[in-house]
Amino acid sequence: MHKGGIMEFSERLFDLLKLKGISNAELARATGISTARLSNFYNGVNLPSLDNALNLVNYFDCNFDYLFCLNDNYKLVLEKRVYNVAQFISRVQVLLSANCISQRTLCKNIGVDKSCFVNWKNGTKPSISTLIKIAKHFRCSLDYLLGY
């Protein structure tokens, strides 16, 4: 199983691109992600935003955990994914409750600002790196965390 970091993601994305037999420009046109941004992903400069990650999983018809190397199990996902803040907040609340920890403790444990919950409830989307930290902390999948 991979670790789910920037370099692992960049390798997985490059592998998916080769598997589909498409160019960077074709992926850019299909997803609406600029070629420069895609190049940053391939070169391990950064992880995509949640919106760009959604575009990628929808294009490659795969699960988040596979794309971000949290596991090696590719699952064909044909329904288009959209972010639903209520589902995300609900899943986090279930995990907090089941593990008997507070939002504040979670934030401290994963190294994010305690105001993140208020921001998420007000429409700010979590970063992929924060989602990965939460998933690893609770030993759950990104797909579960995002309500899929």
pTM over 0.75: yes
Residue 73: the pLDDT is 86
Residue 67: the pLDDT is 94
CATH number given to 6-67: 1.10.260.40
The pLDDT mean for the chain works out to 92
The pLDDT tens digits for 101-110 are 999 999 999 9
Q: Do domains 6-67 and 85-145 have the same CATH topology?
A: yes
- Residue ranges of the domains in the chain? 6-67, 85-145
3-state helix/strand/coil string of the chain: CCCCCHHHHHHHHHHHHHHHCCCHHHHHHHHCCCHHHHHHHHCCCCCCCHHHHHHHHHHHCCCHHHHCCCCCCCCCCCCCCCCCHHHHHHHHHHHHHHCCCCHHHHHHHHCCCCCHHHHHHCCCCCCHHHHHHHHHHHCCCHHHHCCC
Over 80: is that where the pLDDT of 4 sits?
Answer: no
Of 1-10, 46-55, 109-118, 139-148, minimum mean pLDDT range: 1-10
**Fold entry, domain 85-145:** 434 Repressor (Amino-terminal Domain) (1.10.260)
User: What would the mean pLDDT of 106-127 be, rounded to a whole number?
Assistant: 93
Over 60: is that where the pLDDT of 1 sits?
Answer: no
The pLDDT tens digits for 57-85 are 999 999 999 999 998 888 888 889 999 99
